[in-house]
Amino acid sequence: MTESKGAVLAYPRLCIAYFCQFAIWGSWAVALGPYADKVLNLTSIGWLYNAIPLGALIAPLFIGPIADRYFAAQKVMSVLHFVGGLALLACGWLCMSGMATFPLLMGLMLLSGICYMPTMGLINSVVFKHLPSPSMGPYVFVFGTIGWIIVNLVIAGFCGGAETPYFFFVGGGVSIFLALYALTLPNTPPKGAPAPGEKSSGGLGVLSLFKNFSFCIFVLCVFLASVPACNYFFPAQGLFLTERGYPAPVALSTLNQFSEIFLMLALPFCIAKFGLKKVLLIGMAAWSIRYFCFAEPYFAIVVAGLLLHGFCYSFLYVAAYMYAEKVAPAHLKASAQSMMVFLLLGVGQILGGQGYDTMRGMNPPKFTAMPVAASNVTVPEGTRLPAGVDAGTDSLMVPLPIWSDAANSPFRHLDLADQVQRLLGKVEPRTLTLEALEQAMESLKLAKAKTNDQAEALRMGEIEATIENALTVLTAGDPKTVDLRKLLDGKPLTPDAINAMDREQLVRDNVEISKTSACCDTDTVKAFEPFMTSVRYTKDDLKALGKAIAGKENFELTRADWFAAQAHDWKKIWQLPAIFIAGCFVVFLLLGRNPKDND
């Protein structure tokens, strides 16, 4: 009775801890990439995200044995979260002070990852220790998903989203709070130091579990299935949804979290009904099926694949932690959790990220640009075409015309961060008026006339040139664009539809001609500095492109065809991992076993 009462009292405390645990990770996982790219202009962004899997490789196998033998798990958690929180706060301070460089950020993010990843295994040990049954773990784990969602809503609504470094301060603050709060969690004491004459195996003691054949099969299948799982899927998700031309890609991606909440709550029932082996099989099958869904071009099937995420994460990752908890003896439970973190979130994630990069590179888009005659490219006044480009004979590669989505998709309402910003009145566009620019120009000229600092005068001259360009844009009227949705009025793109287009509607302003899009006489590529220009697409250009995409003269292209031509070969990118995970499913189906309690 006392034990049951203690579990009831511990439950809300564990939920708060798990909420904070994933709020820390979620605080920077969404915002760091756009911030590092757009604000800091860093190029090695992927390495910043590798802080988590690298931390999972370096730390857990050393921290788990310490918690098993020498210190209470909640005290080790407290120290690690305190140091990790200071690292995130230091990242924010560097960004705010303008001193952020890649080596400094990478070092601090790696320190944060080394401190954070061991706490995943430790908090799992605390949760499993103080619940009546490991099968109740998902009722706590679901608060991790909620914490991830809530912290990103707070950052988007109140902290400037990915435009400011405040997300570092949010993550660091939550980490330090959890460091203090961990000291109030139910005590999870260590087993103790080795007895006299007993050899300490350090982190290698957990390897004794591999004497059990069924445990070997479990670890092998779950680990291999995890490789093309989360860190393959999440980097691909945004690009995949965007290149397919689906509505509200960011909002669509939140279907993952909503699905995860419901399936996490259903996990204990499924374990009791079917057993852990069948639950793990469902998780593997879900990953394979969702990737086969993504390989298909149909929007409804892709949405179904997104909704499978609850099965994918809860029934594979969470169920794997529960399997290890059930199998490991009392003196190896923390080490077993650390080993699963090491394999699934460390080695598995690194291999998965590398696998995705490889598959994406092997299946590039077929049509990233189209050739137009250099004579149809209007360079800015006072400039000229790059050296070596003959306007009479050469061509330049330019972006394809856009084909927007006419539907005002209801999926946009799933973007909770956007809805919060709307409620706060933060989505109104910031307008730059002609009057404001003229006033800024006058103030700048006065300041420039007064300064005696040559470097400062030079800097002001650069700003003056920028304002002059902005004034030119504003006084020139609205920029022209070429939107095939408006030109075709819902009909497919055909040679007859192109013939019916108004020539004056085929002009597009503000097109960037980049170094990689220089095309002279279609065979020789010459590099030059990027420049902004206006492009006139001719009807013959569009017909030639349509013929190339369709592979025939009398083509009829839909919006989906248009996007598919500019997209990576997602069918191949998704099908190979789907088949690989299906293989893991078959092996575990034939050789896997339900775990037996080992207390």
Please list the helix, strand and coil fractions of the chain in percent, rounded to the nearest 5, in that order.
Answer: 70, 5, 25
Tokens of 143: 């608060």
Closest by CA position to 395, among listed 564, 497, 545, 498: 545
**204-365+571-599 is classed in which CATH architecture?**
Up-down Bundle (1.20)
DSSP state of 368: S
Letter string b/e over residues 106-143, b meaning 16 or more CB atoms within 10 A of that residue's CB: bebbbbbbbbbbbbbbbbbbbbbbbbeebbbbbbbbbb
CA-atom Rg of the chain in angstroms: 28
Give the per-residue pLDDT at 342. Answer: 85
Tokens of 7: 């579990």
- CATH fold for domain 1-192: Growth Hormone; Chain: A; (1.20.1250)
Distance CA 43, CA 548 (A): 34
Residue 9 burial (CB < 10 Å; 0-12/13-18/19+)?
exposed
Give the per-residue pLDDT at 20. Answer: 96
Q: Where are the domains of the chain?
A: 1-192, 204-365+571-599, 370-402+481-565, 410-420+431-475
Residue with tokens 């200071």: 86
> Which residues share a beta bridge with 395?
373, 519
Closest by CA position to 280, among listed 331, 236, 328, 326: 326
- 279 and 315 in contact (C-beta within 8 Å)? yes
> Which residues share a beta bridge with 378?
534
Beta strands in 271-407 (DSSP E): 370-373, 377-378, 395-398
- 135 and 272 in contact (C-beta within 8 Å)? yes
Letter string b/e over residues 555-564, b meaning 16 or more CB atoms within 10 A of that residue's CB: bebebebbbb
Tokens of 155: 């950052």
Cα–Cα distance list, 373 to 132, 400, 481, 489, 522 (Å): 73, 14, 18, 27, 10
3 state SS of 508: strand
Give the per-residue pLDDT at 122. Answer: 84
Cα–Cα distance list, 500 to 220, 275, 497 (Å): 61, 64, 5
- 69 and 82 in contact (C-beta within 8 Å)? no
Distance CA 230, CA 253 (A): 13
Residue numbers in the chain where pLDDT is lower than 50: 1-3, 5, 193-202, 428-431, 521-523, 599
Output the 3-class SS for 480-506.
Answer: CCCEHHHHHCCCCECHHHHHCCCHHHH
What pTM does this model have?
0.75
**Helix boundaries (H) for 40-101:** 45-49, 51-58, 60-69, 73-97
Closest by CA position to 400, among listed 484, 335, 524: 484
* Common-topology check for domains 1-192 and 204-365+571-599: yes
DSSP calls for 549-593:
HHTSSS--B-HHHHHHHTS--HHHHHHHHHHHHHHHHHHHHHH--
> Which residues share a beta bridge with 524?
520
DSSP state of 194: P
